[in-house]
A and B are shown apart, each in its own frame.
Chain A
Amino acid sequence: MRQEADSAVLPVAATRPRASRRLLTSDQAIAIALVAPSIVAIAVFVYGFIGRTAYISLVRWNDIAPDYTFVGLTNYIRLMDVERFQIDLKNTLVFTVTFIILCLAVGLLLAMLLDQRIRFEAVFRTIFIFPLAISFIVTGVAWRWLETPSSGINLLFDAVGLDFLMNGWFTDPNIGILGVVLAAFWQMSGYVMALYLAGLRGISEDVREAARVDGATEWQSFWHVIFPLLHPITLTAVIILGHISLKIFDLTVSMTGPGPGFATDVPSLFMYQTTFFGSRFSQGAAIAMVLLLLVSILIVPYLIYNARNEVQR
């Protein structure tokens, strides 16, 4: 069929280059027209709106009535003095670090275990991953009860003699944010497991065999051969988990709200309440910009790195 097509165009081969170039240009025009609506939408609703939010963060609109008096960085400077925001930044840091470490460790462990020719592998996999299909709101509702101090997990601990583990969970001002981390971990660790499992399945048996022939123990061959091959996956997981945890909102809202002494408060929730309950729009915009900055520090280098890699390929 292919040959037939080739021979059909052969007689006009002399005129083809020009014709196809013209065809290309009109097709290129259609190509641009096809993506234009999306490009315009992203330009306006992502970049334009970010610019607008940045602008609002630099004016004095801290009441219901808009006030576009330029005040420079005043909103940011004031924000840094707000105790709630300081707690929020600390919470975000604690949340992000513990959440990522927990998910990576357990995700990798479960992937390695499932990679050992396990019976009922599909059943286990399904159970580990299903929380991803659920809304953070549902997760929050369920975990709020599981972490109720006089009920839930504490009852289980008590029943099996682990009562020293009983604690106030998200109601404890000191460790509250870790209670939310636990729920987020429950929801997202299956994702890391799936990533690592896909990665492990992509490593050829030859590579593992080579390590074994070299006399490496299972552990050595994992640590020196397999794990380095999984580094790109670890990077991806850190980026995805990191941007989710920096932005975490739904889960905190449905599970705890700001918590006692802002123990479970996060910038996204502070922004929401400041803006839409407090009507302090410029202040809210400043919080949003700080949040965007944090996410960008994580995401932008990764996007550039990815794009470069692709061009090289």
Chain B
Amino acid sequence: MSARVVASGRRWRAVSVRPGRIAIYVTLVIFALFYLMPVYVLLVTGLKSFTEVTLDRMWALPEGFSLDSFRDAWLGNAQTAIPGIARNFWNTILLTVPATIISAILGSVNGYVLSKWKFRGADVLFPVILFGMFIPYQAVLIPLVQTMQVLGLYGSIPGLVFVHVVYGIPITTLIFRNYYATVPGELVEAARIDGAGILGVYRQIILPLSWPGFVVVVIWQFTSIWNEFLFAIVLTSNPQVQPIMVALNNLAGSYSVQWNIQMAGALMAALPTLLVYILLGRFFLRGLLAGSLKG
């Protein structure tokens, strides 16, 4: 009986909701255009030459195909005193790669212990750690700068790596803890009965199952560290050391720099994380949802 209800329900929908379906698609397309609008502007403007960029022709397609803006934004231009962002791009790679790897390892170990080897107080400890990912970092900045100066890490890439690893602990621990919670306790028990200790269980059981967790965490950390701005601007003052987002902000913030170069720079700065998203979108989404605690 219920099957027939389903069938008639479907048919009813298919016949009479047609105009509704069109409205749905129209709405979706309008929103899609809204989300794509900035990308269009970045691309079109970046491809224009200096003389072609004017406020009133912002939406017009470029007349020719010129990569000059990208070249100037990347390498800089001595004549127009534009600093290139190539060096900062490289700085960010040197920052992001080690910070991502270290925090993924830390997160995996923490998540393993806090999900499979709960010691007394572990359940209280977890939200206490999590709080660290929600705080406004302004509340730690002053002592952080002082500490980094004392440690001799202020203004250096290793210093930024350190900071991102430390403040990445809550989110990476969270993602791995939620992920390992899905590994059946019987697997761990069986290995323990076989005589494996805490490290043995990790090596034999947990680590081989961990790769999806690692992919999610690596994408998450890569994206957030690549895009990060506050620590970067507060902890590095030398333009030679500054990460890409600080350089982009400087490039875009100076009034002497033309729109086409700003947009080209912005596009190049956004490209790595965009590529990760396009290639590994499924895992990106999973990290996104994991970041909202429930997993």
* Residues of B with C-beta under 8 A to A191: 288
Binds B, one of A75-83, A93-101, A168-176, A239-247: A239-247
- Cβ contact of A243, chosen from B34, B109, B134, cutoff 8 A: B134
Is B32 a contact of A127 with CB atoms below 8 Å?
Answer: yes
Q: How far is the CB of A165 from chain B (nearest CB, A)?
A: 14
Question: Is B67's CB within 8 Å of the partner chain A?
Answer: no
Within 8 A of A (CB), among B208-225: 223
Instruction: Choose among B28, B193, B197 the residue with the greatest number of A CB atoms under 10 Å from its CB.
Output: B28
Is A195 a contact of B292 with CB atoms below 8 Å?
Answer: yes
Within 8 A of B (CB), among A41-97: 41-42, 45-46, 48-50, 52-53, 56
Is B136 a contact of A306 with CB atoms below 8 Å?
Answer: no
Q: How far is the CB of B224 from chain A (nearest CB, A)?
A: 9
* Residues of A with C-beta under 8 A to B126: 307
Interface of A is mostly: helix
- Cβ contact of A5, chosen from B5, B143, B193, cutoff 8 A: B193
Q: What's the Cα separation between A259 and B84 when bound, in Å?
A: 27
Q: How far is the CB of A19 from chain B (nearest CB, A)?
A: 10
With A130-B35, A133-B284: A31-B2 Cβ-Cβ less than 8 Å: no
Q: What's the Cα separation between A133 and B276 when bound, in Å?
A: 8
A interface residues (Cβ-Cβ under 8 A, vs B): 2, 5-6, 9, 20, 23, 26-28, 30-32, 34-35, 37-39, 41-42, 45-46, 48-50, 52-53, 56, 106, 109-110, 113-114, 116, 118, 124, 126-146, 148, 150-152, 155-156, 186, 190-191, 194-195, 198, 209, 212-213, 232, 236-237, 239-240, 243, 246-247, 249-250, 253-254, 267-268, 271-272, 275-276, 281, 284-285, 287-289, 291-292, 295, 299-300, 303-304, 306-307, 310-311
Within 8 A of A (CB), among B99-113: 106, 109-110, 112-113
Q: List 9 A-B contacts (CB under 8 A).
A: A20-B192, A34-B198, A129-B281, A135-B226, A135-B245, A148-B55, A155-B58, A190-B35, A275-B141
Q: How far is the CB of A195 from chain B (nearest CB, A)?
A: 7
Is B136 a contact of A292 with CB atoms below 8 Å?
Answer: yes
Q: What's the Cα separation between A41 and B185 when bound, in Å?
A: 29
Give the number of A-B contacts (CB < 8 Å).
278
Interface flags, B68-82, vs A, CB<8A=1, else 0: 000000000000000
Interface flags, B159-183, vs A, CB<8A=1, else 0: 0000000110110010000000000
* Residues of A with C-beta under 8 A to B234: 272, 276
- Cβ contact of B136, chosen from A141, A195, A275, A288, cutoff 8 A: A288
B interface residues (Cβ-Cβ under 8 A, vs A): 2, 5-6, 9, 21, 24-25, 27-28, 31-32, 34-38, 41-42, 45, 55-56, 58-59, 106, 109-110, 112-114, 117, 119, 123-132, 134-144, 147, 166-167, 169-170, 173, 190, 192-194, 197-199, 223, 226-230, 234, 245, 248-249, 252-253, 259, 262-263, 265-266, 269-270, 273-274, 276-278, 281, 284-285, 288-289, 291-294
